Copies of this chain bind each other. A is one copy, B any other.
Amino acid sequence: MKQLCKVDEWKIIEEQIHPDQNRLAESLMSIGNGQMGMRGNFEESYSGDTHLGTYVGGVYYPDKTRVGWWKNGYPEYFAKVLNAMDFTGICVFIDEEELDLHVWKVVHFQRVLNMKHGYLQREFEAVSPEGKKISANVTRFFSIVDSSLVAIKYEVTSKNFEGNVTFQPYIDGDVRNEDANYDEDFWMPVYHHASENEAVLTMRTRKTAFDVTAAMVTEVNGNGVTNGQVTNQDEYVDHKVSAHLSENATATFYKYISVMTSRHVEKSALPDAAKERVAKASHNGFESLLKAQTEAWEERWNHADVTIQGDVSAQQGIRYNIFQLYNTYTGEDAELNIGPKGFTGEKYGGSTYWDTEAYCLPFYLSTADASVARNLLIYRHRQLGKAKENAEKLGLKGALYPMVTMNGEESHNEWEITFEEIHRNGAIAHAIWNYVNYTGDTDYLNEYGYEVLAEISKFWASRVNFNPRKGKYMMLGVTGPNEYENNVNNNWHTNRMAAWTLEYTLSVALYLENNHPKTSFELKQRLGVTEDDFDHWKDIIEKMYYPYDEQLGVFLQQDGFLDKDLIHVADLDENHLPLNQNWSWDRILRSCFIKQADVLQSLYFLNDRFSKEEKQRNFDFYEPMTVHESSLSPCVHSILASELGYEHKAYEMYLRTARLDLDNYNNDTEDGLHITSMAGSWLSIVHGFAGMRVVKGELEFSPFIPKDWDNYSFKINFRGHLLNVMVDQQATIITQEEGSLFTVNVKGEIYEVPENGKVIID
């Protein structure tokens, strides 16, 4: 494990420049505001290894699929996250020498991501090849107050010379995706304008025709400021401005950028709208914008923070994860979702996996307004039409949501995943239950939820086959969450979630019939769901086949699982790990080793359906065979271990998720951060250590605290209550910060939490 950055409660601090690990550092220093974001690239030119990456949410390109062997049903095009125009760049010259930290001698360097206040800051001293020494202090942020805004302050001080500093701010639209399948240029130029101190550039995506406009305004504070050349080209605009520096004098340069897209503004109005917005921002000035940013982040932390005392490293890890989740998704825009790499890299097509429903939704449910989680659900409702087309393509009824998507269409092409990893449909149904169970917002069901549930249920009902020899419904040819098994029969988790979906859908149908008879009638008509369907669903629920071993008393991950060599990970030669780097694919497949929670995923999702003994037997059986080679795996194990009182295991699993990127655990953070799995560390603390559950509208806790920690605390929103839950080695203290008196259940006892008061449980 390479710890690039210093441990600190609120900051990510890189104390020297890392030319060999610059991509990793750039990933870690990523910053965004839910609408856009970028990697921790330098503003000035850098001739060393770097991956310049700036991303604008919801703007995608359907890249032509690349496969070795085509299989019927593959999508012809994949929606890709786009590397968008580089709008933060500022070339810096000292007299004729261009600043380049790969060439200049770096005397001092510090790059700091300030999580508390949401900005990135760099301080450095460097000496030019001709011996001119400068110090610089650069601050930039992506505003969360106005999500179209980015602001940069770039201070340069002469340390040993008298001369000129020239700033050359630019917007560069000639940008390529590193992962383009056929090295195509995804963008074409639309509009450009440049003059002294301001410029605008609009680029358009090919095929999808999204326009993205960036407008910049710049300003210099210094002596002898003179404007220089302006460049005004199709895909590139810049201008130059110089200031005179006497020894120890400082020139301060400001660049304000407003970025807007045709997703929100008429194409023809984009340049003016962006110009207007950025003019206003520059009028307000950098310090005022930064103050607003600081306050907004403090307010956000006030609802979303998790504190850990006695372990700074753990504290930094959980805050980093929360920070990056909010950089990626804020829930204000139902067209957006939570990409696996957020705005920090471009690997993987598409932006939305089942990670969103299974891992991220509970985080947003508890730390943000209910509207945020609701928007995540509505995102899927908007894509229901495409999910129905997807099912039809496979010769099935109802809706099958894609494995990965941007606009509702499938963006994945491994048959064993794309066509077979269909448990994702169950996760999407379960998220509806989760939302309604947590918020009590039953209106969601008549407005959106039932329609999605009914179509998913139709899918399950057409996907099972009745086996007359056994009198059971079966589901053949699937891949479960454990992707180290492909094309298996009767994956227990998939069968379980399918039957659960049918049950839940039937219960929602009954609820609607009783409470909203008119809506219920209309929906039935519109969706074409009949009593025959209901009867069929009931029959499936009753006769679903669940592989089970009587002798061991465990649910079997799939048919034939016990025919494998059942070996524990602990008994493997360490050189074989991680398996996905050391074993051929067939060897992985025929082994018993489990990539990520599979049977255990159901035990987490449908937690109250299983006895503690069942959970224990299955955990004891499967955990030792699990290699956790997905970043999504350890948190589910951590949560179940907490519930079962396996405190050591719970803590071990927590550590594997909390600092995954900061410690570059999987050795691939240079490609971008593992955004969606970041929610897992929050889940490990809140659902795991604190044992939070919502049962029949009531909040329950069952806390424990790792023995090395002094205390931990977190805040949650729950049905109009803002609670602070603090657990230390002696007690649990639940403080109500907003909301009226209500009750919570802690370890089976009921406690009242007064308005503006607290309850202490020893």
- Are A585 and B72 in contact, CB atoms less than 8 angstroms apart? yes
Known: A419-B586, A420-B586. A563 touches B489 (CB 8 A): yes
| Residue in B closest to A67 when the chains form the complex, CB atoms | B68
- Are A590 and B414 in contact, CB atoms less than 8 angstroms apart? no
State the CA gap A469–B563 with chains docked (Å). 8
What is the minimal beta-carbon distance from A550 to any residue of chain B, in angstroms? 12
Between A67, A69, A394, A582, the greatest number of chain B beta carbons within 10 A of the residue's beta carbon is seen for A69
A559 within 8 Å of B (CB atoms): yes
Per a CB cutoff under 8 Å, which of B67, B487, B589 touches A67? B67
Per a CB cutoff under 8 Å, which of B474, B581, B590 touches A72? B581
A465 within 8 Å of B (CB atoms): yes
Known: A68-B65, A414-B69. A584 touches B419 (CB 8 A): yes
A536 within 8 Å of B (CB atoms): no
What is the minimal beta-carbon distance from A584 to any residue of chain B, in angstroms? 3
- Are B477 and A584 in contact, CB atoms less than 8 angstroms apart? no
- Are A487 and B486 in contact, CB atoms less than 8 angstroms apart? yes
What is the minimal beta-carbon distance from A31 to any residue of chain B, in angstroms? 30
A470 within 8 Å of B (CB atoms): yes
- Are B487 and A72 in contact, CB atoms less than 8 angstroms apart? no
- Are A590 and B73 in contact, CB atoms less than 8 angstroms apart? no
Report chain B residues within 8 Å CB of A420: 586
- Are B584 and A72 in contact, CB atoms less than 8 angstroms apart? yes
Contact mask A341-381 → B, CB, 8 Å, 1/0? Answer: 00000000000000000000000000000000000000000
Contact mask A312-347 → B, CB, 8 Å, 1/0? Answer: 000000000000000000000000000000000000
Residues 580-603 of A at the B interface (beta carbon under 8 Å): 580-590
- Are B415 and A489 in contact, CB atoms less than 8 angstroms apart? no
How many interface residues does chain A have, given as a range? 35 or more
- Are A393 and B487 in contact, CB atoms less than 8 angstroms apart? no
Report chain B residues within 8 Å CB of A467: 563
What is the minimal beta-carbon distance from A283 to any residue of chain B, in angstroms? 50
State the CA gap A467–B474 with chains docked (Å). 25
A560 within 8 Å of B (CB atoms): yes
A574 within 8 Å of B (CB atoms): no
State the CA gap A65–B488 with chains docked (Å). 28
- Are A414 and B68 in contact, CB atoms less than 8 angstroms apart? yes
Report chain B residues within 8 Å CB of A590: 465, 476-477
State the CA gap A560–B488 with chains docked (Å). 10
Contact mask A382-402 → B, CB, 8 Å, 1/0? Answer: 000000000001110000000
State the CA gap A580–B393 with chains docked (Å). 14
Contact mask A558-591 → B, CB, 8 Å, 1/0? Answer: 0110111100000000000000111111111110
| Residue in B closest to A477 when the chains form the complex, CB atoms | B590
A696 within 8 Å of B (CB atoms): no
Report chain B residues within 8 Å CB of A264: none
Report chain B residues within 8 Å CB of A488: 487
Known: A72-B581, A487-B487. A394 touches B587 (CB 8 A): yes
State the CA gap A586–B565 with chains docked (Å). 27
A168 within 8 Å of B (CB atoms): no
Report chain B residues within 8 Å CB of A648: none
A719 within 8 Å of B (CB atoms): no
A413 within 8 Å of B (CB atoms): yes
A526 within 8 Å of B (CB atoms): no
Between A420, A467, A477, A587, the greatest number of chain B beta carbons within 10 A of the residue's beta carbon is seen for A477
What is the minimal beta-carbon distance from A637 to any residue of chain B, in angstroms? 24
| Residue in B closest to A71 when the chains form the complex, CB atoms | B585
State the CA gap A582–B590 with chains docked (Å). 30
A18 within 8 Å of B (CB atoms): no
State the CA gap A95–B191 with chains docked (Å). 56
Report chain B residues within 8 Å CB of A65: 68
- Are B562 and A559 in contact, CB atoms less than 8 angstroms apart? no
Report chain B residues within 8 Å CB of A612: none
- Copies of the chain in the assembly: 2
- Are A584 and B73 in contact, CB atoms less than 8 angstroms apart? yes
What is the minimal beta-carbon distance from A446 to any residue of chain B, in angstroms? 33
A516 within 8 Å of B (CB atoms): no
Report chain B residues within 8 Å CB of A476: 560, 563-564, 590
- Are B583 and A395 in contact, CB atoms less than 8 angstroms apart? yes
State the CA gap A413–B416 with chains docked (Å). 15
- Are B68 and A413 in contact, CB atoms less than 8 angstroms apart? yes
Contact mask A460-494 → B, CB, 8 Å, 1/0? Answer: 00000101011000101100000000111100000
A66 within 8 Å of B (CB atoms): yes
Between A65, A419, A580, A586, the greatest number of chain B beta carbons within 10 A of the residue's beta carbon is seen for A586
Known: A66-B68, A68-B67, A477-B590. A564 touches B465 (CB 8 A): yes
- Are A72 and B489 in contact, CB atoms less than 8 angstroms apart? no
Report chain B residues within 8 Å CB of A68: 65-68, 413-414
Contact mask A518-541 → B, CB, 8 Å, 1/0? Answer: 000000000000000000000000
Known: A65-B68, A73-B584, A584-B419. A487 touches B560 (CB 8 A): no
| Residue in B closest to A65 when the chains form the complex, CB atoms | B68
What is the minimal beta-carbon distance from A645 to any residue of chain B, in angstroms? 31
Report chain B residues within 8 Å CB of A474: 563
Per a CB cutoff under 8 Å, which of B72, B486, B585 touches A73? B585
- Are B465 and A560 in contact, CB atoms less than 8 angstroms apart? no
Residues 125-180 of A at the B interface (beta carbon under 8 Å): none
What is the minimal beta-carbon distance from A678 to any residue of chain B, in angstroms? 24
State the CA gap A197–B151 with chains docked (Å). 76
- Are B584 and A394 in contact, CB atoms less than 8 angstroms apart? yes
What is the minimal beta-carbon distance from A343 to any residue of chain B, in angstroms? 23
Report chain B residues within 8 Å CB of A586: 73, 394, 415, 419-420, 477
What is the minimal beta-carbon distance from A202 to any residue of chain B, in angstroms? 33
| Residue in B closest to A474 when the chains form the complex, CB atoms | B563
Report chain B residues within 8 Å CB of A582: 72
State the CA gap A476–B477 with chains docked (Å). 15
State the CA gap A469–B550 with chains docked (Å). 13
What is the minimal beta-carbon distance from A627 to any residue of chain B, in angstroms? 14
A sample of 16 more A-B contacts (CB under 8 A), given A72-B583, A394-B584, A486-B487, is A66-B67, A68-B413, A69-B413, A72-B581, A72-B584, A73-B584, A73-B586, A393-B584, A394-B587, A395-B587, A416-B486, A419-B584, A420-B586, A465-B565, A476-B590, A486-B486
What are 12 A-B pairs with beta-carbon distances under 8 A?
A66-B67, A68-B413, A72-B580, A72-B582, A73-B584, A394-B586, A395-B583, A419-B584, A465-B590, A469-B563, A476-B563, A476-B590
The 4 closest A-B pairs by CB, nearest first: A73-B584, A419-B586, A477-B590, A71-B585
